[in-house]
Amino acid sequence: MSHPSQFSLLRKRRFLPFFVTQSLGALNDNLFKQSLILAILYKLAIEGDRGIWVNLCALLFIVPFFLFSALAGQFGEKFDKDRLIRLIKLGEIAIMLVGAAGFAFDHLALMLVALFAMGTHSALFGPVKYSILPQTLHEDELVGGNGLVEMGTFLSILAGTIGAGIMLSSSNYAVVVSVVIVCVAALGYLASRAIPSAPADTPDLRLNWNIFSESWATLKMGLNQTPAVSRSVVGNSWFWFVGAIYLTQIPAYAKEWLYGDETVVTLILTVFSVGIALGSMLCEKLSGRKVEIGLVPFGSFGLTVFGLLLWWHSGQMPSPLQPNDWLDVLGFSQAWWVLFDILGLGVFGGFYIVPLYALIQSRTAENERARVIAANNILNALFMVVSAIVTILLLSVAKLTIPELFLVVSLLNIAVNTYIFKIVPEFSMRFMIWLLSHSMYRVQHKNLQAIPDEGAALLVCNHVSFVDALLIGGAVRRPIRFVMYYKIYNLPVLNFIFRTAGTIPIAGRAEDEAIYERAFKKIAEYLNDGELVCIFPEGKLTTDGQINEFKAGVTRILEQTPVPVIPMALQGLWGSFFSRDPNKGFLRRLWSRVTLVAGEPIAASEATQKVLRERVTALRGQSL
């Protein structure tokens, strides 16, 4: 069954006005901030070290995330999100009027006040920005929606950076900047007026106005979530640690290692931003329209590999008599490798960050979601400040070169993400499932919408290979508890995946009655908790490709916990390496098409062994 592209969301009122609003906000942040920095460096009459003023700008923009994110998280839960966004956008217009006055009168203090206020605006907008998505998007749209938001954010950052340079090149730059930033703010407010209603999650929440105690409480709330959510918050902040180092070092890297001028800086920023946008867009396709955290280890691996390659390809280029422009740089093969590495960092950064945001949104309780995202923003700001300190220490004290800094960051990325994946093995488990279903087989799905989005159900499927559970688990959006023969459960390597996924090992009653009884008790617990359980009623792998008789265990399960039954069938696996076909080979049926078909639900009262076997056989058809 074909699904509309994530870009179809841009035609829907429940997403487009919000997307335009947040993109214009990111654009204006960077238009104003970069214009101010360039004005300090090249236009304003300032005594002393201009670099100190530039660093002050960075500090003024990030401090509000420490101070006001906790308040923003409370606001995002207590008030209607659509109304809150409109109020924030009205505030942006007022802030930009102050900033415009600063530019018009060359008044640096006014500009700095406006910059601090814009940081506050962004801190207030962050929690509502990400908590509104799961409220307005369907579950199968969440990854695509997050991908579009990340694409819009990074392309807006790029446009703001380039736009600021263009505006500051004008002889009447103060007028141009003033008009543009106020107009962009006004457009953002107009777009926000079309955002549909998004009611408050916790309207009776009691606000704590003490920013220090509430910030600490918010951080604890974020880090005390389930391991998957709390470590996703840490992983998200780590991404901004790494990204901040790369982005802040690009100008110096372009100048010192590529001998480039400002056009080379723009070229590198463009390639990096396009990479992030591309990776973010690909997430939906690679994840199968579900929150696929298996992409996170894949993204982490790519960030390390391309970081190492960037270090490797950063040999000294021939020193020119005058700085290279972007066309000059493209004349060197080494520069093409550097740009390829930058693009790879961006693409795999998208693979890394989009699933993390989607997981935080989808697995956090509605009445805590905005505050958990606020905790994420506080931690992001902290990690970015730490990244600046680490960079100073490594470059100034340890005397590393910029490429050597990239090497250290790549090695640190291995250490940090190894810790995250060790604490939450679900990341690694989902990655192995994702890798299997995207490398050895071409998995297609039919009628999986028959599986309910919530509530208990029993899935029954034919048993063709040792990887049936992995392929089904990788295809279905909801987590599934599988019941499988204990000897398959104990297979090396696969046992890690099965154990992490909460698989239920079972043995024949005559073989080991304790395992047998324990399995049925666990199945009943999962179903009573509203989860999906999948069994292979044949009780063993097929040895001839045909569907064996169904065992009585399925009847006992339904007698204990009568839930809807979803018949399913796997097609195309017989003869593959993981089947029991005597003529199998590793390369035989490699990259072959495998299809998972789901049938319509059957009431527990009608789901006899005979009926279920007939339904599964019909779904499988003639394709083994």
pLDDT in tens, 40-54: 888 888 877 777 788
Alpha-carbon separation of residue 455 from 15, 244, 452 (angstroms): 27, 42, 7
**Contact criterion met (CB below 8 Å) for 470 and 436:** yes
Cα 133 from Cα 139, distance rounded (Å):
10
Selection from 76-85, 357-366, 572-581 with the highest mean pLDDT: 76-85
pLDDT tens track for 56-108: 888 899 999 999 999 999 999 999 999 999 999 999 999 999 999 999 999 99
* Contact (CB, 8 A) for 597 and 619: yes
* Residues 310/382, Cβ–Cβ less than 8 Å: no
Residue 1 pLDDT: 46
d(CA 397, CA 388): 13
Using CA atoms of 23, 96, 237, 432 in order, give the dihedral in degrees to the nearest 10. 0
% of the chain residues with pLDDT over 90: 53
Chain segment 465-504, per-residue pLDDT in tens: 888 888 888 788 778 899 988 887 888 877 877 787 788 9
Share of the chain above pLDDT 70, in %: 97
Tens-digit pLDDT profile for residues 142-171: 888 889 999 999 899 999 989 988 898 888
Residue 307 has pLDDT above 80, yes or no: yes
User: Tell me, what's the pLDDT at 302?
Assistant: 95
Looking at the predicted structure, is the pLDDT value of residue 623 above 70?
Answer: no
Domain locations along the chain: 1-225, 227-363+398-426, 440-620
Mean pLDDT value across residues 597-619 = 93
Structure tokens at 398: 């340890």
Tell me what the mean pLDDT of segment 392-419 comes to: 92
In sequence order, the 6+-apart residues with CB closer than 8 A to the CB of 10 are 16, 19, 148
471: Cβ–Cβ under 8 A, 6 or more apart, which residues? 433, 436, 437, 441, 443, 570, 573, 594, 596
SS3 542: coil
505-551 per-position pLDDT tens digit:
998 888 889 999 999 999 999 999 999 999 999 888 888 889 999 98
**Environment class of 197 (CB within 10 Å of its CB; exposed 0-12, middle 13-18, buried 19+):** exposed
Q: What are phi and psi of 321, to 5 degrees?
A: -70, -30
Longest dimension (CA), the chain: 90
Which single residue is written with the structure tokens 């703010």? 185
| 396 C-beta neighbours (distance < 10 Å), count | 9
Mean pLDDT along residues 424-445: 78
**What does the pLDDT read at residue 488?**
79
More confident residue, 300 or 434: 300
Q: How confident is the model at residue 624 (pLDDT cuts 50, 70, 90)?
A: low
**For 344-353, how does the pLDDT look when each residue is reduced to its tens digit (9 = 90+)?**
999 999 999 9
| Residue 588 in this model has a pLDDT that exceeds 60 | no
State which CATH number among 1.20.1250.20, 3.30.499.10, 1.20.810.10, 1.10.10.10 fits the domain covering 1-225. 1.20.1250.20
Say whether pLDDT at 587 is over 60: no
For 63, the enclosing helix (H) or strand (E) is helix 50-78
Residues 6+ apart with CB under 8 A from 519: 483, 504, 505, 506, 507
Closest C-alpha among 586, 563, 581 to residue 624: 581
Question: Do 1-225 and 440-620 agree at the fold level?
Answer: no
Mean of pLDDT over the chain = 89
Using DSSP, state whether 108 is helix, strand or coil.
helix
- Tracing tokens 């024949």 back to the chain, one arrives at 508
pTM over 0.85: no
Domain 440-620: which CATH class?
alpha beta
Rounded distance between C-alpha atoms, residue 465 and residue 264, angstroms: 53
Taking residue 448's Cβ as centre, other Cβ atoms within 10 Å add up to 17
Long-range contacts of 180-185 (CB under 8 A, 24+ apart): 180/31, 181/28, 181/31, 181/32, 181/35, 181/96, 181/99, 181/100, 182/93, 182/96, 182/97, 182/100, 184/24, 184/27, 184/28, 184/31, 184/96, 185/24, 185/28, 185/89, 185/92, 185/93, 185/95, 185/96
Structure tokens at 55: 């660093």
**Residue 30, SS3?**
helix
Taking 50 as the threshold, does the pLDDT of residue 296 lie above it?
yes
